[in-house]
Amino acid sequence: MTAGNSTAILVAGMHRSGTSALTGALNVLGISLGEHLLAPGEDNPKGYWEHQGAVEIHERLLVALERRWDDVRPLPAGWLTSDAAQMALAEISEMVSREFAGAPVWAVKDPRICRFLPLWIEALRTLGIRPVVLFAARRPSEVAASIAARNHWSAPVSEMLWLRHVLEAEAASRMVPRAAVIYDDLLADPADTVSTALARLDIGITRPSAMEQGALAEFVDSADRHHAHRTTEERPTTLAQIADAAYASLTEIAHGVDAWQSLQHCGTRFEAEWQHCGSSIEAVADMAYRFSMNEVAAGIEASRLASDLNAQIRWSEEAVEIRSALQANHDELSAQAQALARERHHLVTELERVTGDAMRVGQELSISEIRVAQVESELSLSQTRVAQVESELSLSQTRVAQVESELSLSQTRVAQVESELSLSQAEASSRAAVIEEMLQSRSWKITRPMRGIARVFRGMAHRR
């Protein structure tokens, strides 16, 4: 970022002075406010338009300086060079570099910034960003009435705080461009009021379009104003008179009159008055601060105790729920135990029956095992016999083959014998026929006596 291409608008004004309405109007015109804004609250439903990071930096610094946002005392002497301030300076630089890098015009708003303007101006100049300050001013009496309604403070406290914010911001912004916006003007004509203030800060934003003017009129609504100034109200205290004079100077500045010197003079009067009665106020404020811190500590302790108590209550409620659940679970388990006892009795009876069956089965199994052994032995013998039979069968098959071969030869021989027999029968028949013919012949018959003598001689020869 360089001063030539980036401008930061620091919106400065006391709480309840219209700073939210003014900053929201800037956002309507397209001026960036960053990405992390505080959520709206009951006292500001349209939004605070405050960057959460800036608020947190300011709160941490106030705590380190033993101050609160509502402390009317000046900041401690030398606070700007303190370690806490230097840490806040580094945090501001880091937040700006992270949130607004590349934005040509952007704004940041937090009423606490009135008291920490020196830090912001230093950080922005170091980053090369052009700082400008835009004051948001509302009548001190209206601010006091608004704060009284919200915080129940008396008017003098609110007016002192109004002066502290406005005059410290004036003193810190003398070396930078600055302008002012009056809350009444903003409610009456938001478009013209805001565009005029931006022009005086040399911020080149064109006059709002008709659409933007409509959006501004809808956002900045006079109905949001709940505390109007009463002209008959008396302003008897010196601080109230200084506040009214300071507001008058800011009104002139907002309307184009260079009244910064008169506003500075109000600051001189305020410091003189503070020198006169400030020690007493500071003593009371310091005591109020201690009371406040004790209240905060007590609140933290009360919150802790409440948290512990709530935790104990939740634990007790959970314990009751757990006890009820355990009782229900106990009843369920008792019912299950009874059912299991019945089931056990049934199972014991069944086991006895099964055991008896098992014993019988065991005996049968033993007999079966003996029989199996026998069968296995017989099977082994059978397998041996089978082997023998297979061997004998093999031999038989060999013998059958031999027999079949011999049978074949025998059949061949039978055929030969039958053939020979047939021939022999034929020959025998032939010879029988010859013999018959011979026996019937005459010669055979004539020689019969001679054959008889021959048989006698053969018999005699065999006997010798």
Q: What is the pLDDT of residues 39-85, one digit of tens each?
A: 887 767 777 889 999 999 999 999 999 998 888 899 999 999 999 99
Our measurement of the distance from residue 224's CA atom to the centroid of its chain's CA atoms, rounded to an integer in Å, reads 42
pLDDT 10s digits, 163-205: 999 999 999 999 999 999 999 999 999 999 999 999 999 997 7
Task: Please give the Cα distance from 100 to 102 (Å, whole number).
Answer: 6
Segment 322-346 shows an average pLDDT of: 80
Segment 331-348 shows an average pLDDT of: 79
Q: Examine the pLDDT at 2 and tell me if it is beyond 50.
A: no
CATH of the domain at 66: 3.40.50.300
- Residues 289, 56, 58, 46, CA torsion sign: negative
| Other beta carbons within 10 Å of 374 | 10
Q: Examine the pLDDT at 367 and tell me if it is beyond 90.
A: no
For the chain, helix, strand, coil in percent to 5 are 70, 5, 20
- 304-327 burial, b at 16+ Cβ within 10 Å, e below that, comes to eeeeeeeeeeeeeeeeeeeeeeee
In a domain, 64, yes or no: yes
- Residue 195 lies in domain: 7-215+237-258
Which among 188, 139, 177, 129 is positioned nearest to 5, based on CA atoms? 129
pTM, 2 dp: 0.62
Is 115 in contact with 29 (CB distance < 8 Å)? no
Task: Please give the Cα distance from 161 to 358 (Å, whole number).
Answer: 102
Distances (CA, A) of 422 to 382, 428, 433: 54, 10, 16
Which among 121, 129, 122, 125 is positioned nearest to 100, based on CA atoms? 129
Task: Please give the Cα distance from 289 to 282 (Å, whole number).
Answer: 10
Q: Examine the pLDDT at 131 and tell me if it is beyond 90.
A: yes
Is 170 in contact with 263 (CB distance < 8 Å)? yes
Mean pLDDT in the chain? 82
Is 15 in contact with 41 (CB distance < 8 Å)? no
| Angle of CA points 157, 144, 85, to nearest 5° | 60
Nearest-Å Rg of the Cα atoms of the chain is 67
Task: Please give the Cα distance from 97 to 127 (Å, whole number).
Answer: 8
Task: Please give the Cα distance from 12 to 14 (Å, whole number).
Answer: 7
DSSP element (H, E) containing 389: helix 260-439
Order across the sheet with 7-12: list the strands. Answer: 105-109, 7-12, 130-137, 178-182
Q: Examine the pLDDT at 284 and tell me if it is beyond 60.
A: no
In a domain, 153, yes or no: yes
DSSP element (H, E) containing 405: helix 260-439
Distances (CA, A) of 50 to 11, 184, 423: 10, 21, 152
Task: Please give the Cα distance from 280 to 73 (Å, whole number).
Answer: 11
Q: Examine the pLDDT at 253 and tell me if it is beyond 90.
A: yes
pLDDT higher for 382 or 18? 18
In a domain, 60, yes or no: yes
Whole-number pLDDT of residue 282: 60
Whole-number pLDDT of residue 50: 93
Instruction: Give 32: exposed, middle or buried? Use CB within 10 Å, 0-12, 13-18, 19+.
Output: middle
Task: Please give the Cα distance from 453 to 228 (Å, whole number).
Answer: 202
Task: Please give the Cα distance from 94 to 90 (Å, whole number).
Answer: 6
In the chain, the number of structural domains is 1
In a domain, 15, yes or no: yes
Distances (CA, A) of 462 to 449, 450, 455, 456: 21, 19, 11, 10
Q: Which of these ranges, 108-112, 229-233, 405-409, 435-439, has the smallest mean pLDDT?
A: 229-233
Is 51 in contact with 152 (CB distance < 8 Å)? no
pLDDT 10s digits, 404-428: 777 678 778 768 867 777 787 777 7
Segment 21-42 shows an average pLDDT of: 89
The set of long-range contacts for 62-66, using a CB threshold of 8 Å and a minimum separation of 24, is: 62/112, 66/289
Whole-number pLDDT of residue 298: 64
Q: Letter for the amino acid at 82?
A: S
Whole-number pLDDT of residue 1: 37
Task: Please give the Cα distance from 363 to 371 (Å, whole number).
Answer: 12
- Strands 178-182 and 130-137 turn out to be parallel
- Residues 103, 105, 109, 114, CA torsion sign: positive
In a domain, 376, yes or no: no
